Structure 1
Amino acid sequence: MSDAANSRGETEKRGGSLVGTIAAVAILTVVAAGGGWFLGGYISGVEQAPGEAVVAAASEKKGHAQPLGEVVALKPILTNLAVPSTTWIRLESALVAKPGEEIAPEVAMNISDDFMAFLRSANLMQLQGATGLAYLRADLEERARMRSEGKVERVFISSLVVE
């Protein structure tokens, strides 16, 4: 009988430790969920306040937001690349003039032709990845500034498809 009583005592101890473990896990889960909810609310509130303060300070300092210059959308460019020559590229872009400057339609057409000539001489390896896209935009901006005699401030790439 002592063996049966001993095995019952061990079962009760194990059962008690299992209930205690489940209770501890449940309590810790509730505490972690509450802490995550509180911390998430605190972080989202902190991130919004500085952004709003920066916008308010900038608008007070300048009186109003700095206007963008004229935006001229260029016609889509479709051409093949130099290497490999079977690869086609389609570029949709827009030019942003400096404030107070205007870009004549003839100048925009010359810039578009220059973009096409540049893309025809480009290599597929030059256009790959985020750095390739950044270099492409920088090259296009430089060409646009030269063709427009400094009237172009930025070049926006709306879409770029390589097939």
Structure 2
Amino acid sequence: MTITDQAAAPAKGPSMILQLAVLLAMTGAAVGGGWFAGNYLGQAGGHEGAVAEKAAPAGGHGAPEAGHGEEAEANPLLVPLPPMTTNLAAPSRVWVRMELSLLLDAAQPPELIETIHQDLFAYMRTLKLHQIEGASGYQHLKSDLEERARIRSDGHVKQVLIRTLLFE
């Protein structure tokens, strides 16, 4: 065998069976990792579905239905707020429209709900676009809205749900 014969012979790589086995192993690892992450994240944020099941119908504005007594008071109430449309502090040409709902621990007077709505509306007018950009900006906005609503309601607001958030 000469040097030219060795150079002309194709180099042997891994066999087809070995390549398929590696592909199947990597696919299995990806599926397993996705399943594990989905279960882990589902447990961390899974309480939202349970809260939605307990929430009162939106048409009732948070008032418990007659005949349920203490059971209705123990369940949280979902109160939709009127839509908010305003411009941001900077740039002032950017408009935002939000639809929110409040998750309350008990029925509250309409005056308190209106006070919370006006406070959240005033807060939205102070925001700058760079403060609410991206996923972390959204999370900060949500936590700020929840904090303001809890302060105004003396802790009766358990969560602020952002139903719609549009920028124009």
Report the TM-score, using the length of structure 1 for normalisation: 0.65
**Alpha-carbon spacing, 1:44–1:134, altered in 2? closer, same or farther (3 Å):** closer
Which segments of structure 1 move beyond 6 Å, counting only runs of 4 or more? none
1:59-98 to 2 correspondence within 5 Å?
69-98=76-105
Q: How many Å separate the matches in 2 of 1:35 and 1:135?
A: 40
Residue number among 124, 133, 136 corresponding to 1:128 in the alignment: 133
Question: Is 1:32 the equivalent of 2:22?
Answer: yes
Q: How many Å separate the matches in 1 of 2:34 and 2:88?
A: 46
Contiguous gaps of at least 5 residues in structure 1? 55-64
**Alpha-carbon spacing, 1:40–1:140, altered in 2? closer, same or farther (3 Å):** closer
Q: How many Å separate the matches in 2 of 1:39 and 1:138?
A: 36
1:108-147 to 2 correspondence within 5 Å?
108-147=113-152
Q: CA deviation at 1:41?
A: 5.8
Partner SS, residue 107 of structure 2: coil
Q: How many Å separate the matches in 2 of 1:34 and 1:143?
A: 51
Q: How many residues align?
A: 137
Q: What code does the residue aligned with 1:150 have?
A: G
Preserved contact between residue 72 and residue 103 of structure 1 (Cα < 8 Å): no
Contiguous gaps of at least 5 residues in structure 2? 44-49, 56-75
**Alpha-carbon spacing, 1:36–1:84, altered in 2? closer, same or farther (3 Å):** closer
Partner SS, residue 138 of structure 2: helix
What is the identity percentage for the equivalent residue pairs of Structure 1 and Structure 2?
31
Task: Specify which structure has the bigger relative contact order, considering alpha-carbon pairs within 8 angstroms and separated by 6 or more residues.
Answer: 1
Match of 1:61 in 2: none
Q: CA deviation at 1:95?
A: 0.7
Partner SS, residue 21 of structure 1: coil
Partner SS, residue 85 of structure 2: strand
Match of 1:149 in 2: 154
Structure with the bigger percentage of helix: 1
Deviations 1:79-111 (A, max 9, x none): 11122222111111111112xx12333322221
**Alpha-carbon spacing, 1:104–1:86, altered in 2? closer, same or farther (3 Å):** same
Report the TM-score, using the length of structure 2 for normalisation: 0.64
Q: How many Å separate the matches in 2 of 1:42 and 1:125?
A: 37
Question: Is 1:103 the equivalent of 2:108?
Answer: yes
